[in-house]
Chain A
Amino acid sequence: MSRSHVVGDTYAVTTRNLIAYRRVPELLVFSTIQPVLFVLLFRYVFGGAINVPGVDYVDYLMPGIFAQTVVFGAIGTAVGLANDLQSGLIERFRSLPMARSAVLTGRTLADLVRNVFVLALMCVVGVLVGWNAGNTVGGFIAAMALLLLFGYACTWIFASVGLAVRDAETAQAAAFPVMAPIVFASSAFVPVSSMPGWLQGFAKYQPLSVVCTASRDLLLGTNTGGHWVLGALAWCIGIIVISAPLAVLRYRRSA
């Protein structure tokens, strides 16, 4: 297998997955409706009751919304792979002289591109409700890059889920109970200091919280020493290093 085939095959599969997002816009709409509702809910309903010292609540909230968006969006990776297994398309791919890796990397790269669009949309929604979009352009770009990296890491976790459960409905049902504590027992919507002591350790250092805190630091220009950013990078790279080989192994066995 030559290197050019790996690149060409990955590009072909990525394009194929992106066509599906373009042609079935419901896939995108459903993954954006929920975060938009959360923005409205927390900005206008709960936000007034949540006190975060030293920062406007909307500026605290939006990085949490972005992180939540890419985590829930990763369910789409599981659903897409489960559908391809179920329809027999992956069986055909296995019988072709294509790069073995292209099915998974093509999937996760397409979902990375999807996240670019969804995050851009959420930024617009944020600005509409009064988000300041960061204090510097560099900080904004760095925060978005970090959130996309985090989203990419999550798609690798959910690639394994999709290959394991083999049907789209189960993938969705299996994902929620796992994701709910990650998304809600976090610093995404409220400061961890408001939580009971036994929960604070988990809530402060679990990956989504670390990514939220790091994104806020980058956007607001706070904590420029950057140990949260380094922590977030470590989480993302750690997740990819562990979950990508697991997904590849799962793919090899899922015939």
Chain B
Amino acid sequence: MTTPEGRSDAIVVEGLVKRFGDVVAVDGVSLRGERGKVLGLLGPNGAGKTTTVRVLTTVLSADAGRVEVLGHDVRRDPQTVRTIIGLAGQFAAVDPNLTGRENLRLIGRLTHLPKATVGPRADELLERFGLVDAANRPVRTYSGGMRRRLDLAAALVHRPPVLFLDEPTTGLDPASRLGLWELIEELLAEGTTVLLTTQYLEEADRLADHIVVIDKGRVIAEGAPTDLKATLGNTVAEFGFADTATAAAAATAAAPFAVRPPTVAGTAVHVELADGAHALLEVLRALDLGGTAPEALAVREPSLDDVFLSLTGHHAVDDADTGEGAR
């Protein structure tokens, strides 16, 4: 479908509300996922990310709001929506008693692939996700990383154009996480539209084109990863000078461009800049004009954790159980 701005949105959520008894899990969330792009839904545990995904995937029904996938309303036409989406969840929903191959064949049958292609499609995915050697073993013998790969493969069996990845790497060790990120990046290169939820800032930063930050069921910020950082975080520049006198002079010269007075430590000067690259250029120009050009320069962009802290007043993962526990 096409919006007034002429953008093609695969995922449309407007004013979504979902209550569980007295608890309002999602409180008026609106978001749009552009076709062929990755929308990152970032927030701590209990923010309402998974509930939003469950409504989008027809698992739960909304209390209020409009929710569409590729123009199909999830309430009016859930069965069509189910044919065009894939869901991979943080709870690795594969059958532990079936083998990897049997799991993928079961999904193939239940998504009504032509009978003759169920087997070949399963084999193709096992190959692609590095599970050929484990294909005939019951899934309960798999490692956590292997289970997640199989879960992701299961979401892809019927080649859905829209994919929902609900905290795909939560609870994984760093090596498995990196492996899964690479697999997801390959999918993105094929043009799949993705909605990714995560409580890992690094993950949203690496994979998402557009990030929606939610906390306590509400959207509190959104934008491209770089925009979010530029609006809300300060770029930190660390300069190194030949001697302490030059350093002191440079700190004075840089002061007008910094958000707070630069700090000097020996020959090093620490400058915090509000608008990133542009301010940095101004500082460098001033230093050059004043004859205090630096010997060394290190620039650190704000992390998304800094962003979250300034938006909510708490860290993104402060009280979060990063394991497999809470739902």
Contact = CB atoms under 8 A, between A and B. Distances in A.
Interface string B104-115: 001101111000
B244 interface: no
Contacts of A102: 110
A91 B89 contact: yes
B57 A95 contact: yes
Interface string B302-321: 00000000000000000000
Contact of A88 (B60, B79, B93): B93
B110 A1 contact: no
Contact of B92 (A24, A88, A96, A98): A88
B83 interface: yes
A8 interface: yes
A87 B96 contact: yes
Nearest to A94: B59
A18 to B, nearest CB: 10
A92 B109 contact: no
Contacts of B89: 88, 91-92
Given A88-B92, A95-B85, A97-B112, A24 B60 contact: no
Interface in B69-125: 79, 82-83, 85, 87, 89, 91-98, 102, 106-107, 109-112
B123 to A, nearest CB: 18
Interface residues of B, number: 29
A92 B57 CA distance: 9
A121 interface: no
Interface residues of A, number: 24
A8 B98 CA distance: 19
Contact of A96 (B98, B102, B110): B110
B92 A95 contact: no
Interface in A64-110: 87-89, 91-98, 102
Contacts of B57: 94-95
Given A12-B106, A255-B54, A255-B60, A20 B97 contact: yes
B97 A93 contact: no
Query: Which 8 A-B residue pairings sit nearest by Cβ, starting from the closest?
Result: A88-B91, A88-B93, A97-B82, A20-B97, A92-B93, A98-B110, A12-B109, A95-B87
25 contacts: A1-B79, A8-B112, A12-B110, A16-B98, A19-B97, A19-B102, A20-B98, A87-B95, A88-B89, A88-B93, A89-B93, A89-B95, A91-B59, A91-B89, A92-B87, A92-B93, A94-B59, A95-B58, A95-B87, A96-B107, A96-B111, A97-B79, A97-B110, A98-B110, A255-B61
Given A12-B110, A96-B82, A96-B110, 8 more contacts: A8-B109, A9-B109, A12-B106, A12-B109, A19-B97, A19-B98, A19-B102, A95-B58
Interface of B: 54, 57-61, 79, 82-83, 85, 87, 89, 91-98, 102, 106-107, 109-112, 138, 154
